[in-house]
Amino acid sequence: MPSPAPLLGAAVEPVMEHVRAVIRHAQDVGRLERTPLAEAAWRRAYPMLTAERAGLTGALLARGAAHVTRLAALFALVRLAPVIDLPDLEAALAWWEYVVGSVGIIFEDRTGNHDADKIKLELLPGEKLDWTTLRDKVFSNHITTARLKDALELLVALGVVRLWVEESGGRPRTMVERLPVEAAATGSP
């Protein structure tokens, strides 16, 4: 309905009473334990929730286990339950799956490192440059060695570039190659 009628009196009272009951229950319940089924599901989900992720996505999703725990507890409290049961945990995991998908869509091309993002933007897939040329082409020589090294290490960890040392008849050159998009997606060069 584009303009629903406001909820008044009798329609609002059951909702308000349930909220009051949830608050009373939450104040009295103490520690919420998981049922054996929920505990088994939690142990299976935990490695996925705590997996290391690089870059901005990793920073945004770093507290997955804590958020899922809070959501499962909230769902149990809303049901006025004394324990977290499997449906509570499954609902919390479904919410987390939605969050992970949303972060992936919204921040898909971002690393959280401005210099790494600039390299990704400037280098074409398959393009190969030595360190010096990269520094000049992308940053006009206005980047410290430490910042460039940090950006490249992050991009290597994300599978976006690969580095290698190439003999040049004189001083060896560090080479940088922007990997094809499909290689970066699978993590293989």
Average pLDDT over residues 132-148: 94
Determine the Cα–Cα distance for residues 40 and 49; give it in Å rounded to an integer.
14
Question: Are 188 and 134 contacting, i.e. CB atoms less than 8 angstroms apart?
Answer: no
Determine the Cα–Cα distance for residues 86 and 40; give it in Å rounded to an integer.
9
Residues in the chain: 189
- β-strand partners of 174: 165
Reported pTM = 0.67
Closest CA to 83 of 119, 126, 35: 35
| Pairing, β 161-166 against β 128-130 | unpaired
* pLDDT tier at 6, thresholds 50, 70, 90: confident
Closest CA to 65 of 79, 48, 40: 48
pLDDT in tens, 86-133: 999 999 999 999 999 999 888 877 888 899 999 998 999 999 999 999
* pLDDT tier at 8, thresholds 50, 70, 90: confident
* pLDDT tier at 25, thresholds 50, 70, 90: very high
pLDDT of residue 164 exceeding 50, the answer is: yes
Per DSSP, helices labelled H in the chain are 9-29, 36-49, 55-60, 64-78, 86-106, 114-122, 131-139, 145-157, 181-186
Determine the Cα–Cα distance for residues 86 and 182; give it in Å rounded to an integer.
37
Tokens in use for 68? 């899922």
pLDDT at 188: 45
pLDDT of residue 185 exceeding 70, the answer is: no
pLDDT at 107: 84
pLDDT at 182: 62
Report the C-alpha dihedral over residues 67, 71, 34, 66, rounded to 10 degrees: 10
- State the average pLDDT for the chain: 91
* pLDDT tier at 187, thresholds 50, 70, 90: very low
* pLDDT tier at 189, thresholds 50, 70, 90: very low
CATH architecture label of 114-186? Orthogonal Bundle (1.10)
Domain ranges of the chain: 9-106, 114-186
